[in-house]
Every structure is written in structure tokens, then in C-alpha cells.
Amino acid sequence: MKKAKPLFKALLSLWIVYNILTMLVMPNVAAYFGRVTSRFLTPYANTVGLNASWNFFSPDPAHTMYIRYTIRYLDAEGNETKESVEGYFPKEKNKGIPEMSRKRELYAMRFMVIDPKRLRLFLGPWLCKQYPGSTSIEMEHVIETVPPLDQVVTLKDESLKDLSQELQYIREFYSCAGAENDEVAL
């Protein structure tokens, strides 16, 4: 009888630890640790009703978003008079913006990509003024994805840049010569 009591305490302790682990992991089973341990925890959690998802852990990191633009200098026949210029808005496309006052550029970029027409109405004319003599501007909204943790763990030898994807969502063209009727489009 004396041997059964320590065995009972050990089993009860393991069951309590297993329950606590299940309660901590199951609310966010979609997280990396949850996916790794789900084969051990999910059958038990489904049986006793501990399988509710709350998603209380931190979210995934945001994808990098920016606008890539190409300034073209063409003559009347369509020949390049000057080399095209490629730029980004905001300028620091894959780095943090150093000054707090320049965070407005991030919000301005997000505002413009909500409605693609805004690229033509606001960014296009502004870029034409920034680059005198330009004839047309090609603008595109680019998102560089953050690879999922599973993929990074599986493909350890690959760099994050290789695992990331570059997606183009919006593409707009603006002619600097035809800037007279901007107010009509508003």
C-alpha cells in the first residue's frame, strides 16, 4: 500500500502538468509550438473540451510594404532622352524609418494603396514635380512577405531573402504631360 501512494502522487502530478500544458497550448494551436505538440495534446483536448482557440499570443510580424516607382524620360517618338530612375516610397523600403517625423510617409503610402486611383491623383503629380522633365511614371504597390516559421525551420540553409516572396498588387501609370485634368478625377 505504501508503494501505491507515491506512484499515485506521481501519476496525478503528471496528469496535472499535462492538463496545464494543454490549457496553455490549445488556445493558440496555430502557433509553432502548438503545431509541434498538437499530435500529443489535441486528442485529449478534444475529448475533455479544452480545444477552444483564443489566440492570445503575439501576432505574426507584418509584411514589408512600399511603392516602387519608375520615372521615364521620353521624347515625342518614345525614345529615352535620359536614363529612367527607379525609386521607392518610403525611401527605406526594408529598413526601419529612423525619424519619428518620417513615419508619416508610411501612413501616406498605406493611404494611397487603399484606393489605386490615389496613386494617379496624388503620388503621380507629386513625383512629376520632384523629377522635372519626366514624361511618365509607373508606380506599383509591392509587398515582401515574411516567411512562416515552419518554412524557416525546415529550410535552415536558405536565407530569409530567398524564402520571402515579392508580390505586386497594384500597378498605375501617370503621364506628366496630361496633368491638366487632375481635378476632374477627384
Angle at 8 between CA 34 and CA 16, to 5 degrees: 25
CB 113 within 8 A of CB 121: no
H/E stretch holding 73: strand 64-74
CB 87 within 8 A of CB 69: yes
Residue 140 DSSP SS3 = strand
The verdict on whether omega for the bond into residue 90 sits within 30 degrees of 0, i.e. cis, is yes
CB 55 within 8 A of CB 28: yes
CB 172 within 8 A of CB 119: yes
First-to-last alpha carbon distance for the chain, in angstroms, is 87
Q: pTM value?
A: 0.61
Instruction: Write out the chain's pLDDT in tens, 186 residues.
Output: 577 788 899 999 999 999 999 888 887 777 788 888 888 888 888 888 877 666 555 556 677 888 899 999 988 887 888 899 999 888 776 666 666 667 777 788 888 888 888 888 888 999 999 999 899 999 999 888 888 777 777 888 888 778 888 888 889 999 988 654 455 554
Q: Which residues pair with 71 in a beta bridge?
A: 85, 137
C-alpha cell at 143: 509587398
